[in-house]
C-alpha cells in the first residue's frame, strides 16, 4: 500500500466511475460467471458452487475484470475518481450468519481484501481518487442483488448486522488511513426506502464516528446515501462544525419507475437536462452539505430503444448523456455506473465512450 497523501489529486469536483460487478457480483453485469447456475447474487453464487469452485471462478474474475491498464485508461480520458463497491465479507470470516448461506456459515470467497489493496495502489499510481463503498451489508440492506442477497432485506432487523457493518467500516478506515488514493468512505449503498429514517440516521452517526476514529476530516470524506428519500429528510443532519466533510449521495436513473419508463426519448432528455438540473440546484441550495450523484447511466427501458434506428438511438444517447452531465456538473461530483459490463453497453462507461455516446475526455 502506498503511504502518504497525494495532494496533486486536488480536492474539487469528482468526475468518476463505479467499478461495479467486480468485488460485489451482479448477475446482469457478468452473466458468464453465472452460466449453468441457478444463483442470482453473490451469496447464492458462493453457496451453490461451494468455496473451492466459487474461488476458482471468482479469483479469475477479480484478476481479469479490472486491471492496471483500466486505471491507466480512465486517467487518460480525464476520469479522476473511482467508487469501489465491496461486500461486508471483504476481510473474510467471521461475519454474521444468514439463513441464505445454507450449511456453510462462511460461504464467501476470501482474498478480496488483497484485490482491494492492489486497486488502491493502482489508483494512486495513476492519480485517481477512491471512494470505498459498503455495497452489501450483512442480512442485505435493500433486497437487491447488489446488496448481496436478492429479495431479502434484514440488515436493519438485527443488532449483530448493524454492528458488523460498523466494524467493517472501521477496519477499512484503519487499513487505508493515510493511503494516497483514499478520498472517501461511503457508509452504505442504497438502504431501502422502508428502513426507518431515524434508525438509518442513528446508524449513520455510529458509522461516521467509527470512520472518524481513524480518518481525519481533512483527509477523507464520509458519504451517506439518501436511502431513496427526499434530501429534505436530511436537512440539519451531519452539519458542521460538529461534523466535517460529510457528503450526501443521490442516485439518478430513468429506467425503473413506471412514469420514467413511459417517457419517449425526448422526454428522457428533457427530464435529465431540465428537471434534474433544477433539482440539483435546489438540493445544493437547501442541504447545507455537498451532494454527489453516486450512480447514473445511459440505461433506458428496452421498450424505449428496441424499435429505434441505430443512428437515431446513437444521437439520442449522446443527447441524454450530455443532458445528464450538464445537470450533474452542478453537484460536488458524479460516478457513472459502471466501468464495464459484458452485454449492456449503455451501462458501461468504456463502451459508451468508445461508441461516442459519452465524451472522449472528461477534463
DSSP 32: G
Taking the CB of residue 244, how many other CB atoms lie within 10 A of it? 14
Question: What confidence tens digit (pLDDT) does each residue in 142-192 have?
Answer: 999 999 999 999 999 999 999 999 999 999 999 999 999 999 999 999 999
Q: In this predicted model, what pLDDT tens digit does every residue of 63-110 receive, in sequence order?
A: 999 999 999 999 999 999 999 999 999 999 999 999 999 999 999 999
Tell the burial category of 272 from Cβ atoms under 10 Å away from its Cβ (0-12, 13-18, 19+).
Answer: buried
User: What confidence category does residue 7 fall into, taking pLDDT thresholds of 50, 70 and 90?
Assistant: very low
Q: What is the pLDDT of residues 116-127, one digit of tens each?
A: 999 999 999 999
Dihedral sign, Cα of residue 331, residue 337, residue 340, residue 346: negative
The cell 472528461 sits on which residue? 362
Is residue 223 within 8 A of residue 185, CB to CB? The reply is: yes
Q: Which of 96, 101, 126 is nearest to 8 (CA)?
A: 126
Mean pLDDT of the chain: 96
Beta bridge mates, 248: 224, 291
pLDDT digits (tens, 9 = 90+) for 212-260: 999 999 999 999 999 999 999 999 999 999 999 999 999 999 999 999 9
In this structure, which CATH number among 1.10.420.10, 3.30.9.100, 1.10.3720.10, 3.20.20.80 belongs to the domain 7-354? 3.20.20.80
Band of pLDDT at residue 303, cut at 50, 70 and 90: confident
Task: Say whether pLDDT at 326 is over 70.
Answer: yes
Active site residue ranges? 190, 295
In the prediction, which pLDDT does 1 show? Answer: 42
Over range 327-334, report the average pLDDT: 98
Q: Please compute Rg for the chain using Cα positions.
A: 19
Phi first, then psi: give them for residue 324, nearest 5 degrees. -65, -45
Question: 241: how many CB neighbours lie within 10 A of its CB?
Answer: 5
Predicted confidence (pLDDT) at residue 4 exceeds the cutoff of 70: no
**Over 80: is that where the pLDDT of 291 sits?**
yes
306 pLDDT band, cuts 50/70/90, is confident
Q: How far apart are CA 3 and CA 335, in angstroms?
A: 25
pLDDT tier for residue 309 given thresholds of 50, 70 and 90 = very high
Helix spans in the chain (H)? 42-49, 51-65, 68-76, 112-125, 159-176, 197-212, 258-261, 265-270, 276-287, 302-305, 310-328, 349-354
Position 11 scores a pLDDT of 52
Residue 149's closest CA among 90, 87, 95, 196?
87
For residue 9, name the pLDDT band (cuts at 50, 70, 90).
very low
Amino acid at each position: 500500500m502506498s503511504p502518504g497523501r497525494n495532494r496533486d489529486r486536488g480536492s474539487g469536483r469528482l468526475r468518476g466511475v463505479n467499478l461495479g460487478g467486480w468485488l460485489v457480483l451482479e448477475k446482469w453485469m457478468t452473466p458468464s460467471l453465472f452460466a449453468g447456475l441457478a444463483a442470482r447474487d453473490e451469496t447464492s453464487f458462493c453457496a451453490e458452487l461451494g468455496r473451492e469452485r466459487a474461488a476458482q471462478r471468482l479469483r479469475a474474475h477479480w484478476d481479469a475484470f479490472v486491471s492496471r491498464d483500466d486505471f491507466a485508461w480512465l486517467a487518460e480520458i480525464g476520469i479522476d475518481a473511482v467508487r469501489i463497491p465491496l461486500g461486508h465479507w471483504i476481510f473474510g470470516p467471521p461475519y454474521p450468519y444468514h439463513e441464505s448461506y445454507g450449511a456453510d456459515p462462511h460461504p464467501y470467497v476470501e482474498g478480496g481484501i488483497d484485490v482491494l489493496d492492489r486497486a488502491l495502489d493502482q489508483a494512486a499510481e495513476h492519480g485517481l481518487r477512491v471512494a470505498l463503498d459498503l455495497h452489501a451489508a450483512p442480512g442485505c440492506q435493500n433486497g437487491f442483488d447488489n446488496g448481496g442477497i436478492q429479495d431479502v432485506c434484514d440488515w436493519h432487523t438485527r443488532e449483530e448486522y448493524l454492528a458488523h457493518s460498523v466494524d467493517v467500516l472501521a477496519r477499512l478506515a484503519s487499513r487505508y488511513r493515510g493511503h494516497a488514493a483514499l478520498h472517501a468512505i461511503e457508509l452504505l449503498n442504497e438502504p431501502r426506502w422502508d428502513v426507518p429514517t431515524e434508525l438509518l440516521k442513528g446508524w449513520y452517526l455510529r458509522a461516521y464516528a467509527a470512520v472518524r476514529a481513524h480518518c481525519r476530516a481533512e483527509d477523507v470524506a464520509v458519504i451517506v446515501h439518501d436511502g431513496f428519500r427526499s434530501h429534505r429528510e436530511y436537512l440539519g443532519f451531519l452539519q458542521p462544525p460538529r461534523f466535517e466533510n460529510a457528503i450526501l449521495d443521490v442516485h439518478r436513473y430513468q429506467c425503473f419507475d413506471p412514469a420514467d419508463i413511459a417517457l419517449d426519448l425526448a422526454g428522457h432528455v428533457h427530464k435529465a437536462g431540465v428537471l434534474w438540473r433544477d433539482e440539483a440546484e435546489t438540493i445544493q441550495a437547501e442541504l447545507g452539505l455537498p451532494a454527489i450523484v453516486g450512480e447514473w447511466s445511459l440505461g433506458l427501458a428496452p421498450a424505449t430503444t428496441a424499435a429505434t434506428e441505430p443512428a437515431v438511438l446513437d444521437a439520442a444517447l449522446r443527447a441524454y448523456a450530455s443532458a445528464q452531465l450538464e445537470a450533474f456538473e452542478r453537484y460536488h461530483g458524479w460516478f457513472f455506473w459502471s466501468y464495464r459490463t459484458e452485454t449492456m453497453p449503455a451501462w458501461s462507461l468504456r463502451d459508451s465512450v468508445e461508441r461516442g455516446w459519452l465524451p472522449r475526455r472528461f477534463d
